[in-house]
Structure 1
Amino acid sequence: MPPTTVADLLVLLAREPGRPRLTWYGDGGERVELSGAVLGNWVSKTTNLLVEEFDAGPGTRVALDLPGHWRTVVWALAVWRAGACVAAPGAAGADVVVTDSPADASGADQVVAVALPALARRFPDDLPPGAIDAASAVMTYGDAIGWTQPVDPASPALEGGAPRSHADLLSGPAPTAQRVLAAARPRTETAAFLLDVLAVLAGDGSVVLTSPETTAALASDAPRRDRLVASERITAEG
């Protein structure tokens, strides 16, 4: 049976803990591979941060002001696992703003600064007063999800171009398990980007994401693209 909740999805991903589930090709040759176990671990720690720092739960709106990126997927899964709602970048009245540009969110009451490079141990710039540095904070939380409020199926899970409640977040038909090559979308298309990734994972598949720079490079270099498709065992394109 396909998963019907994000909690179910995380259980599914853990059944093959060593299998790649989310692979990122970023700028400058960066490659990050998250197995089912590693992705689940990131989500658990991030969920605990959201719950313990911000009391995240049904009705909490978390604005993800992030580009299409593997970290964006982790944060979205954590928001949903906590039963909260992913709001669009710049959404008015968001309870928490998660962003790679915290200086632009200085008017928000609760800000989490996300450094995008995989090896970042701290946010590289000065943070607004009270902002949390995700690079250092997330790793201090437990590997297993602690107490969370019960998820309300009727509560909002996703705002944006395709709003969803928690009940219908995973309601679409699950595709056949595939290894999908997908170009990361800009932050203005966060909702559609997240739903695309979620659908692949719910179908017991895995995603290879390419940054805009990498996507452009692959488009102009067919041999390089062919090598990536072969080495990553791509079976479909998003």
Structure 2
Amino acid sequence: MLPSTMPSQQPARGADRPLLTYCDDATGERTDLTAVELGGWAARTAGLLRDDCGLVAGDRAAVLLPPHWQTAAVLLGAWSLGVTVSYRSWAVAGLPSARPGEDEPYDALFVSTARLGSWLESVPEARHRFAHGLGPGAATLDEVPDGYRDYVAAAGYHPGDVPAPQAVRYTDAASPDGTTYRQWGTIAHAIAERMELRPGDRVLVDTGAHVEPVTWLLAPLAAGASILLCANLDRETLDRRRAAEGVTHVL
């Protein structure tokens, strides 16, 4: 992860305020996470990858998930260990190899059960596979697909205390195209500056329009802003939501 943007280091608008909120206007679902709570789920993910799966810096994870609070936890947890992450939102089918021509299985895979069937032929091989139901709150799966573990249940066994910093080098690759942690940090800060984000801002993100984590996750965190992720965004209620939530920017 980008050390300067870890959620536990830049709590937006007070420690008791949500740092990341996920809501779905189609279902009425809402999950609010403070900086400590999001950092706790990132720590659980890191513990899962390190202690259960034996992953270390330089290992590879594939993440096939939409913008969601669980996706944020997985990405932050994996990056905090120095794991190289291949990310694809569920809006895009398939996932490339970490490097051209590389056929080795990924070390870990995180995928949504909602798209697992349609992606069956393109889901990459992985030594450890985790399924996400992405249900309300931290609900576990009623039925776990064969060959997978329930992410929420598996991560929940690990402590939510933020672990000691790992020996992650800024020059290590954070993504399979070779982009380093330092470069992603620079990009995130540049996007935040372009959007004129400031500490304490609250950014509403239409998840149907913005799927890249550098925009919906890293840039707001780099600026010290909080995030309101909205799936199936109801534009007709946008003005009321902006006022009620204290939204300063809409993406």
Q: The TM-score by the shorter chain falls in which range?
A: 0.7 to 0.9
The match for 2:226 among 197, 206, 219 is 206
Number of residue equivalences: 223
1:176 aligns with 2:198: yes
- Structure 2 partner of 1:110: 128
Q: Deviations over 1:181-222 (max 9, x none)?
A: 111147xx75x23444211111110111111x2x2xx22x2x
Q: CA RMSD in A?
A: 2.7
Cα distance in structure 2, aligned partners of 1:121 and 1:134: 10
Greater helix share, 1 or 2?
1
Q: Which of 155, 167, 170 pairs up with 1:150?
A: 167
Query: What residue number does 2:213 align with?
Result: 193
Amino acid at match of 1:127: P
With normalisation by structure 2, the TM-score equals 0.78
Q: 1:164 to 1:195 in 2, by over 3 A?
A: farther
Following superposition, the deviation at residue 169 of structure 1 comes to: 2.2
Q: How far apart, CA to CA, are the structure 1 residues paired with 2:81 and 2:5?
A: 9
Q: Secondary structure at the match of 1:208?
A: strand
The question of 1:29 aligning with 2:28 is answered yes
Instruction: List per-residue Cα deviations over 1:119-164 (Å, max 9, x = no partner).
Output: 45422333223x221121111101224467411222211347xx63
**Structure 1 gap ranges (5+):** none
CA distance in 2, matches of 1:63, 1:185: 21
- C-alpha change, 1:15 and 1:225, in structure 2 (3 Å) is closer
Q: Which runs of 5+ in 2 are unaligned?
A: 89-94, 98-104
- What is the TM-score normalised by the length of structure 1? 0.82
Q: Distance in 2 between matches of 1:53 and 1:184?
A: 31
SS at match of 1:57: coil
Amino acid at match of 1:123: L
Runs (4+) of structure 1 moved beyond 6 Å? none
1:91 partner letter: P
Note closer, same or farther for the CA distance 1:120–1:41 as it changes in structure 2 (3 Å cut). Answer: closer
Checking the alignment, whether the CA contact within 8 Å between 1:80 and 1:157 is kept in structure 2 is: yes
Cα-to-partner distance string for 1:77-122 (whole Å, 9 max, x where unaligned): 1111111122034233422110113563484332011120134542
Aligned residues with identical type, % of pairs: 24
- Does the Cα contact within 8 Å between 2:109 and 2:130 map onto a contact in 1? yes
* Counterpart among 66, 76, 91 of residue 96 in structure 2: 91
What is the distance in 1 between the residues matched to 2:12 and 2:47?
Answer: 18
CA contact (8 A) 2:130 2:151 kept: yes
Aligned pairs for 1:26-65 (under 5 A) are 26=24, 27-65=26-64
In structure 1, the residue matched to 2:101 is none
1:13 alignment partner, SS class: coil
User: Given residue 73 of structure 1, which amino acid in structure 2 is its aligned partner?
Assistant: A
For the residue of structure 2 that corresponds to 1:67, the secondary structure is coil
Of 58-67 and 9-18, more deviation after overlay is shown by 9-18
